[in-house]
Amino acid sequence: MTNRPSVPETDSESPDFVIESEYGRILLKSNCKASFFDNLEMDDGLGHFSHYSSIIKKIDSFNKYAEREDGRVTLAVRDPNVVVGYCIGSYPEPNDRWTLLGKLMYELAALELSRNFRGLNLAYRLLNSTMNDDFFEDKIAYMCGYSWHWDLEGKNLTAGQYRNMMKQLYGKLGFREVYTNEPNIALRPENIMMIRVGSRVSAEDNLRFRHLRFGIKPK
Amino acid sequence: MLEDYPKAIVTKDGTSVLLRPVVESDEEALSIFYSEIPKEEQWFLRDKLDEPETLHRWLKRLDYSKILPIVAVREDDGKIIANVRLHLHVAHCIVHVGHLRVMVHPSYRSQRLGSWMILDCIKAAMDMGLEKLFAEFVSGVEDSAIAAALKLDFKHEGVLKDYIKDKNGEYHDLIIMVRDLASEWSDF
């Protein structure tokens, strides 16, 4: 039996790193391209949301994001081919308020871990792999946390506790909470918008973003 | 949690405002703030922070583990335009409850500033692990604050009939409102 991971190991498709865990070998791979998704399966611990339908229902859904301009898909795959977690990034959806700032804004649109693979620090590793790129120094990366997306039952947490967990997780990568009157965020106080402002983002762009957060459109 | 400050907001008229904890050097700006609160409203201030000596003593004893006072400061000139205080308890039986007090400068009302301050307080309370936020408002005096609290899911929990007396000797009800922080999102 070979020790090589079954996930393709060409330069462009080799994993960022490998985690040996009690659940077996887990491979993390950022910037996955469409060809990477062939023959993968979703772990049955993904997609448990009582109050919402995940944007990722099956493997094919990853293609949609990978094929977008600057779209990013980072996967955690249990050897040989079971997706146990993912992080997805892309420019905002066309109807989002943030598109008014063009390509300045970049959304970390989804981060999910299988219920069967928690406690391995995979969420941080997925995020870190996704964000570990100079690309983000020109962007305001953001995440929107909505309590109805959170697996509160699986984590046995209140919405406030889950919010705290999100703050700590994203905070490790330089994100901080900001306020906005964007209706979905403003709907519940536990909801959270967090941003990381890239080192090359100008003060003027920062100010435009601040105003847009409160509904004042950029001139 | 304090590392989250300052937090930026923009009011309805486009004024950039920073929310941050009160520091001792805010004495002059706070003194001006309280002096600009109408006399008839100063009457209802429990802590009498409109009195310079009281304010001075209060600032000397700042302890964020007992009271987290947050001010809203105009970014352009540093003027304090609102103040919210989250009172925390040390008694075991009510350590899970925070007590909220809010005051907005008259020139900055109807700008949703009070709502942002209360929301900030709710989030801070959640981050501290509190389970309930408690607030008292004087009926007929703080009706806009009551409206803001209702929008943020505070519920009427009680009324102390004719509990408060104004400067003219007229009685007002004290409205008790509570925001449950531990409840799940039952409306979804």
Q: Look up the CATH number of the domain holding residue B24.
A: 3.40.630.30
Q: Which residue has the higher pLDDT, B72 or A121?
A: B72
Expressed as residue numbers, the domain containing B14 is 2-134
In this prediction, residues A181-191 reach a mean pLDDT of 91
- The pLDDT score that the predictor gives to residue A14 is 64
Residue B98 counted as domain residue: yes
| Any domain includes B186 | no
Q: Give yes or no for residue B166 having a pLDDT over 50.
A: yes
Q: Greatest CA span in chain A, whole angstroms?
A: 62
The tens digit of pLDDT for each residue in A54-84 reads 667 778 889 989 999 999 999 999 988 999 9
Number of domain units in chain B: 1
Structural domain contains residue B159: no
Residue B153 resides in a domain: no
How close, in Å, is residue B119 to chain A by CA atoms? Answer: 7
Which chain B residue shows the shortest CA-CA distance from A207?
B16
- Residue B156 belongs to a domain: no
| Residues from chain B contacting residue A176 (CB–CB below 8 Å) | 4
| Closest approach of A199 to chain B, Cα-based (Å) | 19
Res. B77: pLDDT tops 50: yes
Closest by Cβ to A160, choosing from B14, B120, B126: B126
Mutate: best of B185, B186, B188, partner A, most A CBs <10 A: B185
| Binding-site residues on chain A for chain B (CB distance < 8 A) | 51, 147-148, 152, 158-161, 163-164, 167, 176-179, 188-190, 210-211, 213-214, 216
Q: Is the CB of residue A205 less than 8 Å from the CB of residue A104? A: yes
State the average pLDDT over residues A12-37. 84
3-state secondary structure of A72: strand
Beta-carbon contacts below 8 Å between A and B? 53
- Coil/strand/helix, residue B100: strand
- Compare all CA atoms of chain A with the CA of B112 and give the residue at the minimum distance: A181
**Min Cα–Cα distance to chain A from B16, Å:** 8
Domains present along chain A, CATH in parentheses: 17-213 (3.40.630.30)
Burial of B188 from C-beta contacts in 10 A (0-12 / 13-18 / 19+):
exposed
Q: pLDDT value at position A52? A: 60
SS3 call for A34: helix
Facing residue for A176 by CB, picked from B4, B120, B127: B4
For residue A160, give the chain B residue with the closest CA. Answer: B126
Chain B nearest C-alpha distance from A39 (Å):
37
Tell me the percentage of chain A whose pLDDT exceeds 90: 58
The confidence band for A13, taking pLDDT boundaries of 50, 70 and 90, is low
State the complex-level ipTM: 0.86
Distances A218 to A208, A215, B176 between C-alpha atoms, Å: 6, 9, 42
Say if pTM beats, i.e. exceeds, 0.90.
no
Look at residues B174, B171, B182 and name the one whose alpha carbon lies nearest to residue B135. B174
Tokens of B102: 């809010």
| Residues in a beta bridge with A144 | A193
Lowest mean pLDDT among A40-49, A59-68, A129-138: A40-49
Measured between alpha carbons, how far is A150 from B174 in angstroms, rounded to an integer? 38
Q: Which residue has the higher pLDDT, A86 or A45?
A: A86
Strands B16-21 and B7-10, by their bridges, are antiparallel
Identify whether B26 is part of a domain: yes
Pair type for strands A105-113 and A140-145: parallel
Given a cut of 70, is residue A10 above it in pLDDT? no
| Cβ pair A179:B129 closer than 8 A | no
From the number of C-beta atoms within 10 Å of its C-beta (0-12, 13-18, 19+), residue B68 rates as: buried
User: Averaged over B145-150, what is the pLDDT?
Assistant: 90
Instruction: Round to whole Å and give the CA distance between B188 and B186.
Output: 5
> Band of the pLDDT at B187, cuts 50, 70, 90?
very low
Q: How high is the pLDDT of residue A41?
A: 92
pLDDT surpassing 90 at residue B160: yes
How, if at all, do strands B80-87 and B97-104 pair? Answer: antiparallel
pLDDT > 60? residue A96: yes
Neighbouring C-beta atoms of residue A199, cutoff 10 Å: 9
Q: Is residue B66 predicted with pLDDT exceeding 90?
A: yes
Give residue for tokens 């409203």.
B41
Q: Is residue B167 part of a domain?
A: no
- Give a yes or no: residue B139 inside a domain: no
What's the Cα-to-Cα distance from A10 to each of A17, A75, A164, B165, rounded to whole Å? Answer: 14, 16, 39, 79
Q: How far apart are CA B155 and CA B141, in angstroms?
A: 18
* B8: nearest CB among A152, A163, A178: A178
Min distance B56 CA to chain A CA atoms (Å): 31
